[in-house]
Amino acid sequence: MASLVHSLLTNPGIPLQDRQDALNRALSDPGLPSQNPTSSFWLRDPHPSLAKAQSDTLPVEADVVIIGSGVTGTSIAKTLLESRKPRSGNNGPGQEQTSRPAVVMLEARDICSGATGRNGGHILETAEEFAELEQVHGIEAARKILRFRLAHLRELLAVAEKYDLTESAQARKVQFLSVYFEKKGWSDARARFQRLKQGLPEETQEWRLYERDEIPKEFSLPYAQGIVAGPAGAIWPYKFITGILDQLKTKYPEELRIETNTPVTSIQDHGSKAVSGLRYTVTTPRGTIHARHIVHCTNAHVAHLIPGLKGRICPIRGQMSAQHPGTNFRRQGAEHSWLFNYDRGFDYLTQLPASDVGEMMMFGGGFAQGEGGGISDLGVSTDSELSLYADIHLSGALSAVFGRANWGAPRGSAVEQMWTGNMGFSADGFPWVGRLPVSLTGRGEDVEGKGAEWVSAAFSGEGMVLAWLCGKALGKMLLLHDHGLDGKSVDLSWFPEQMIVTEDRARKAVYALPPSNVSPHL
């Protein structure tokens, strides 16, 4: 997905002015989330106690302020609360003898209303980038990166089971079908698949190819040239995350505070002058919070509060829909998920299992069919409008790819809902996870032994196979920083080093810009 941005910015077929406008948007402040978002199907049943959760009075102090209430922020909160030492002893989250909450989670809008509440609910890793990763980073790094991504399927399903959310969040394992409609695209995919099987033979035992004459008729894909199939997952992301947060709030009523509709407007770093170890002042319309640590989990909006990430993490608008299956479509919600690969771009699809909301086709994509091949959605950080061309594409594609005889007639209004969401795309294709240097935040000073600002963001449209374990790793890093882990020191050797924040990476990982536009701090 990250290469998609580079291909747009360097495409001579797109007018130079359009590309320059996109670059300018990538360099701009993404601002706060829109207060007029499009309506997501996933959010149609707001959580009764969390959707608009607010304390009567905003806490004035916190060990850790987490900005964002999606997959990443929830994973970090869970890690901090469950892995920390008991509250006694020295400074650090969960260590001081104090009445202040260990974690305060701030959300600019209703709970989980950003990318997590707007995505495809698709836990999909096709691993087709293995050969490219191997070429650039070496085989061991490629293996480590793919193992990390592949681990999300097992991890998310296990968490859903642990929190008794498997049924309510519709968490399920399926077989993904990555479908190719052109001979050239299929030939390239076959070669990538063969290299993947050579490089990760144990991890890909469940994976297989279907040549055109091998594709089962019940797949209802009459125009496919070939299919890569393997294990994947699907989930109702909003119900999954709010279910976890609800239980964490019950288990840690004094240590976790969730404050929705409380956007962060500014951050002040007091550095070595901090009082009581509370280095930061976080300002919101409801008041200020003094905190030891701040964790940024705002993805497409992350550069609003971390100006040094402009041009390194670029917002992109994506589009999703909920559609009724055609009258002839065979129910497959518990069996398959799909990735449709075209000459330009791709779409992704899951089907909800039978329930009181119907067996909706959760269908997203249409980016490459947008204005300028998608260039008009690059750098867009608002989810308040639809892309007309993506709407046209998504509204008609399903009956075409499955074949009209297999699809049948529409059921009432075929498209139940259409909405947009914003993703954060990284210039080097990897998430940014770790402690933020002053050169990126643009405030304060590097002070050893004090709190810090942290980030876990930029999942480049693939958050369901990146965000949860990035959050878990970040939580461990923060606790290690404060010597606040319960038990022996944690091994983080499983976490890919390419995803860690460094100043050297910040100097190199920038979208193509004139040198004069690069931050002088770097």
The pLDDT of residue 88 is 53
Q: What are the residue ranges of helices labelled H in 252-358? A: none
CA distance 345 to 363: 14
Q: What percent of the chain has pLDDT over 70?
A: 94
CA distances from 499 to 151, 238, 311, 479 (A): 16, 26, 17, 18
Distance CA 243, CA 237 (A): 10
**What pLDDT, on a 0 to 100 scale, did the predictor assign at position 271?**
82
Give the pairing of strands 172-180 and 336-341. Answer: parallel
Taking domain 116-236+316-422, whether its CATH number is 3.30.9.10 is answered by: yes
pLDDT of the residue at 69: 98
Burial class for 145, CB neighbours closer than 10 Å (0-12, 13-18, 19+): buried
> Which pLDDT belongs to residue 3?
74
pLDDT at 482: 87
The tens digit of pLDDT for each residue in 295-313 reads 999 999 999 999 999 999 9
pLDDT of 89 reads 42
Residue type, 76: I
pLDDT tens for each residue of 18-75: 999 999 999 999 999 999 999 999 999 999 999 999 999 999 999 999 999 999 999 9
Residue range 426-458, pLDDT digits in tens: 999 999 999 999 999 999 887 777 899 999 999
Reported as a single tens digit per residue, the pLDDT across 492-512 is: 999 999 999 999 999 999 886
Whether 413 shows a pLDDT value over 60: the answer reads yes
Per-residue pLDDT averaged across 368-382, rounded?
Answer: 94
* Angstrom distances, CA of residue 350 to CA of 29, 366, 443, 446, 486: 34, 15, 43, 46, 39
pLDDT at residue 90, as a whole number: 43
**pLDDT at residue 522, as a whole number:** 41
Name the band, by pLDDT with cuts 50, 70 and 90, for residue 258: very high
User: Which residues belong to CATH 3.30.9.10 in the chain?
Assistant: 116-236+316-422
- pLDDT, mean over the chain: 92
Q: What is the pTM of this model?
A: 0.94
Q: What is the pLDDT of residue 412?
A: 82
State yes or no: pLDDT of 91 exceeds 60: no
Per-residue pLDDT reduced to its tens digit, 152-180 = 999 999 999 999 999 999 999 999 999 99
Residue 516: the pLDDT is 38
Instruction: Report residue 448 as tokens.
Output: 């050893």
Q: How many helices (H) and strands (E) does the chain have?
A: 12, 17
Kind plus residue range of the DSSP H or E element containing 189? helix 183-199
Residue 374 near residue 4 (C-beta atoms within 8 A): yes
Checking if the pLDDT of 214 tops 60, the result is yes
Q: How confident is the model at residue 181 (pLDDT cuts 50, 70, 90)?
A: very high
| pLDDT interval class at 487 (50, 70, 90) | low
User: What does CATH list as the number for 41-115+239-313+428-517?
Assistant: 3.50.50.60
Radius of gyration of the chain (CA): 23
Q: Under 8 Å CB-to-CB from 521, ≥6 apart: which residues?
A: 308, 438, 439, 440, 442
Residue 1 pLDDT: 59
**Average pLDDT over every residue of 233-247:** 98
pLDDT, residue 5, reads: 84
What is the Cα–Cα distance from 462 to 252, expressed in whole angstroms? Answer: 30
In the chain, CATH 3.50.50.60 covers 41-115+239-313+428-517
Assess whether pLDDT exceeds 50 at residue 477.
Answer: yes
Q: What is the pLDDT of residue 280?
A: 96
Average pLDDT, stretch 251-257? Answer: 96
Question: For residues 463 and 413, which has the higher predicted lDDT (pLDDT)?
Answer: 463
